[in-house]
Structure 1
Amino acid sequence: MVAQLIWIVAVYASAVILIHILHHREQTRRVMRSGKRIHYFLITRNHEAVIEGYIRMLAFHAFWTGKLYRVTVLDDESKDETLAVATKLAYSGSAIDIAPLMHFRSVAGEDEYQREIVIDLRMPGSGGSQSRRGEC
């Protein structure tokens, strides 16, 4: 009898959580419809071990907030499989572009994105640097 009550409470609690998540997403979709988009620039050099985690974290954040996003991986002559991992993620449906670091200025400053964030993974101990449009 107690086990059945626990199951009923667990199902009810999960339904409440699901309703709250869907409600939160619907509210944030209104923001998405207004055109707010984020463009992330990941500057990498031999970051095979962490690139997938960063891209998946950015995708989860965009899913949670309901914002459109784009990730551009700017590679600084990696000797490992960093580009292979990013390419596999791009083929699996993630919003990823891949370009050499020398093309950074030509890629930055697109008109369709209202906010651009640069994350430089090459700096040890750095969480990246954020910049707004035109400050890249």
Structure 2
Amino acid sequence: MVPVWILLCYGLAAVLVHLMHRMYVRGRAGAPNREHYILVTRNHEQQMEWYLRAISWYAHLRGRDCRITVFDEGSEDDTLAITQLIKNSGDLELSVYGFSGRQGEDDMRRQAAAAEGETALLIDLRVPMEAAKIPYVHV
């Protein structure tokens, strides 16, 4: 005779698969195909890799494509070097731009040019607590 807990585990696994499939189908209907994160940085070498990896993991867990654009306002640390290393690794679709503080949000959005079916989220990391908009980041 098969132990009851084995049958229970099998039944729970089947229910879980059906629930996840339902969430997947609902999430796809009318949802944007891609997420675009626009990050504004200045001297964020300590956090930059984590921010980029957190965004990437979150998008993959949700089954969405992800694009990241980084605007750097003259960092004096290794923020750009770290970002460039991640870009060169090919793991992420990542664009890096330098900018002056005189550029406005509209200019950055225009330069980052959101594509069709893409939701864009601007996160200005120079502002305290903005990093909390990044998934898995607690400020």
With the length of structure 1 as denominator, give the TM-score of the two structures: 0.67
| Superposition pairs of residues 40-51 of structure 1, within 5 angstroms | 40-51=37-48
Q: What amino acid is the match of 2:50?
A: G
With the length of structure 2 as denominator, give the TM-score of the two structures: 0.66
Question: 1:118 corresponds to which residue?
Answer: 122
- Structure 2: runs of 5+ lacking an equivalent: 1-5, 101-106, 135-139
Of 85, 98, 101, 1:100 maps to 98
The CA RMSD over aligned residues, in Å, is: 3.5
Indicate whether 1:88 and 2:92 are aligned.
no
Number of residue equivalences:
124
Q: 1:51 to 1:57 in 2, by over 3 A?
A: same
Of 49, 53, 56, 1:52 maps to 49
Deviation string, structure 1 residues 25-46 (Cα, Å, up to 9, x no partner): 96478459x7521110010000
| TM-fit CA distance, 1:94 | 1.2
SS at match of 1:80: coil
2:19 & 2:53 partners in 1: Cα distance? 19
C-alpha contact (below 8 Å) 2:70/2:95 kept by paired residues: yes
Q: Which runs of 4+ in 1 moved over 6 A?
A: none
Q: 1:119 to 1:25 in 2, by over 3 A?
A: same
- Structure 1: runs of 5+ lacking an equivalent: 1-7, 131-136
